[in-house]
Amino acid sequence: MIRPPASGLERSCRIDDSLPVAPLNTYCSQALKLAEITFLGDEGYAARIPGFRGLIATGATKRETLAELETALVDWINLALKRGLGLPPLRPGKPALATGR
């Protein structure tokens, strides 16, 4: 597995405007730094973030895969919060952001 360079993950996550944006953007950016990328040979790359069940993205290049992962992560976070499921902690033993519900 390949860890992506931090410099390639500096884009801002676009979280639903009805949610507290600043803390969630930080959470999203930190989560992307934990991404694990796997080379799939002729099929390109796959990426996932440990702790985010069911979240996976694929692409022909690392850059494309990370862009897809960011989009999928934002959707994953928005859905989890709208359903009141909360977010996984980014570090073991540390609580995740509170949902406010």
- β-strands 56-59, 36-39 pairing: unpaired
**Which pTM was predicted?**
0.73
Maximum Cα interatomic distance, the chain, rounded to a whole number of Å? 45
pLDDT at 51 (0 to 100): 93
How many alpha carbons fall within 13 Å on the CB side of residue 69? 32
pLDDT band for 21, please (50, 70, 90 cuts).
Answer: low
CB atoms within 10 A of CB 47: 27
pLDDT averaged over every residue in the chain: 80
Rounded Cα distance, 3 and 17, in Å: 30
Of all residues in the chain, the percent with pLDDT exceeding 90 is: 56
Q: Which amino acid appears at position 84 of this protein?
A: G
What domains sit in the chain, N to C, each tagged with a CATH number?
Answer: 21-82 (3.30.160.250)
